[in-house]
Structure 1
Amino acid sequence: MDLQALIIFLVIGAIAGWLAGTLVKGYGFGLLGNIVIGIIGAYIGAWLLPQIGFGMSGLIGAIVSATIGAIVLLLLIGLVRKVA
């Protein structure tokens, strides 16, 4: 992975994490936390969406997929916090 791809990956993660934190109220983790949530969400979205029959490509597709994955992750974190 070259430097440009890494920067794009981090920017997509930050955008997805910020969008997910905005859409799922009360689960913002700051800039670094949003990047981490977005990156993990990108992996979740890349796995989950093809499983249910949705394939996305391109930059917008990557952001949407990562955002959906980050939302799923934030909802799971919320469930774990309620149980604990």
Structure 2
Amino acid sequence: MGISGIISAIVIGAIIGALGRLVVRGRQNISILVTILVGIVAALLGTWVASLFGVEDTGGIDWLELVFQIVLAAVGVSLVAGMGSRKQQP
């Protein structure tokens, strides 16, 4: 993976992570770096899950793949925010 691949993974992760945060209700006390990391993982897992369902590269926007990525990002943001809130409470 070259430098352009790393930069694109960060940008896509930030977008997917931000969309995942928008889907989750309430306030999430997690940093932007954690949001990007959750977004990168969700983007990779969403692509993998979409391939299991037979979604192929259409040359355009793969809407089903995007839905999988956003849902996984929302789940990831919820899990990470939930773990952080449990640590803060005595």
Give the conservation status (yes or no) of the 8 Å contact 2:16–2:69: yes
Distance change >3 Å, CA 18–CA 37, structure 1 → 2: same
CA distance in 2, matches of 1:43, 1:9: 9
CA distance in 1, matches of 2:3, 2:71: 26
Query: Percent identity, aligned pairs only?
Result: 27
TM-score by length of 1: 0.67
Unaligned residue ranges in structure 2 (runs of 5+):
none
Distance change >3 Å, CA 13–CA 60, structure 1 → 2: farther
Q: RMSD of the alignment, in Å?
A: 2.9
TM-score by length of 2: 0.64
Distance change >3 Å, CA 45–CA 36, structure 1 → 2: same
CA distance in 2, matches of 1:14, 1:67: 11
Give the conservation status (yes or no) of the 8 Å contact 2:39–2:73: yes
SS in 1 for 2:55: coil
CA distance in 1, matches of 2:73, 2:60: 16
Give the conservation status (yes or no) of the 8 Å contact 1:45–1:66: yes
Unaligned residue ranges in structure 1 (runs of 5+):
none
Match of 2:45 in 1: 44
Higher helix proportion, which one?
A: 1
After superposing on structure 2, the runs of 4+ consecutive aligned residues of structure 1 that deviate more than 6 Å are: none
Q: What CA deviation, in whole Å up to 9, does each residue of 1:19-54 have, x standing for no partner?
A: 100111233623211111101111221232333x25
